Amino acid sequence: MGFARVALLLAALTALFLVLGAALGGRGGMMIALVFAAGMNFFSYWQSDKLVLAAYRAKPVTREQVPEFYGIVEQLAINANLPMPKVYIVENDQPNAFATGRNPENAAVAATTGLLRQLAPQEIAGVMAHELAHVKNRDTLTMTIAATLAGAIGMIANFALFFGGRSRDNPLGLFGTIAMAMLAPLAAGLVQMAISRSREFEADAHGAEICGHPLWLASALGKLDRSAKQIPNLEAEGNPATAHMFIVNPLHGGGIASMFATHPPMAERIARLKAMAQA
């Protein structure tokens, strides 16, 4: 999925938001929703990275504190022709990692203590190359906006259900408004997941190019996937809207929940990386 399609999906989320605004308050409600969406995106652009890092109690580290890990990130940033990002460590036994920041000049990468303990240096390099690929592709901003809009759609849907489309300007009527308020959050979640899944495939491919060894990342993904299913991430469970930011899904769940996963199937991700290595 290219950037043009991602842009279309973001436009679809915005359209859903505006339709719900119209259902709540007619033409005036649509304008209010538009202003509200713009405000939330503006806030996300400037503050989302700080909120995410604070939510996971990430601690900034220096070269002197973690010379090997810091050196890995530094060399990968050079490989990717990126500014050196801020480096954080999250005290969490589940091996995982994420990147955040509105652009490469204001980026941060974070790894859990579980990841640093369980993976070999080459595998750590594969993981952090994946995160730097997100930074280089500006996925951190794209997925943050998607998450913000999806969350806002869910919130305004609750208002629409409560007021029941009472505006005379509302073309949907009472039952149409109720149906829209129930279906819109589901549709928003599916669009958000489509965006997240597509960017994970791209980050895997570009991360493999940055570190130069697709099998390093493939090996790391296998280990992370197995461990994440066994070791809980309580902070992520409390902030499920941030699950899409991690390299592997930090949440526990299966069955029908897997249909709504923010990450592609791990077997497919590993298979693509192995195909890259063979090529």
Vertex 180 angle, CA 178 and 182, to 5°: 70
Q: Which residue from 101, 111, 86 is spatially nearest to 134, judged by alpha carbons?
A: 101
What is the rounded CA–CA span in Å between residue 230 and residue 250? 10
Cα 58 to Cα 97: distance, rounded to the nearest angstrom: 11
Which is more confidently placed, 82 or 182? 82
Q: Identify the pLDDT of residue 140.
A: 78
Among 94-98, 138-142, 161-165, where is mean pLDDT lowest? Answer: 161-165
In terms of residue numbers, what domain contains 230?
3-278
Q: How far apart are CA 124 and CA 130, in angstroms?
A: 10
Question: Sign of the CA dihedral 14, 244, 201, 122?
Answer: positive
Contact 199, 7 (CB under 8 A): no
Distance CA 132, CA 123 (A): 14
pLDDT band at 252 (very low <50, low <70, confident <90, very high): confident
- Find the catalytic residue in 64, 74, 123, 131: 131
Mean pLDDT of 126-133: 98
**Total-model pTM:** 0.79
**Residue bearing the bigger pLDDT, 265 or 34:** 265
CA-CA distances (angstroms) from residue 156 to 20, 32, 145, 172, 186?
7, 11, 16, 16, 13
The residue written with tokens 């077997």 in the block is: 267
- The more confidently predicted of residues 63 and 238 is 63
pLDDT at res. 197: 73
- Domain total in the chain: 1
Residue 61 has pLDDT above 80, yes or no: yes
**What does the pLDDT read at residue 279?**
85
The answer to whether residue 137 scores a pLDDT higher than 50 is yes
Instruction: In whole angstroms, give the CA distance from residue 100 to residue 248.
Output: 15
Check if 131 is active-site.
Answer: yes
Max mean pLDDT range (37-41, 88-92, 189-193, 255-259): 88-92
Select from 191, 247, 229 the least CA-distant residue to 13: 191
Output the six-digit token pair for 56: 């996971």
pLDDT for the residue numbered 65: 97
Among 14-23, 58-67, 135-144, 179-188, which stretch is predicted with the lowest mean pLDDT?
179-188
Length of the chain: 279
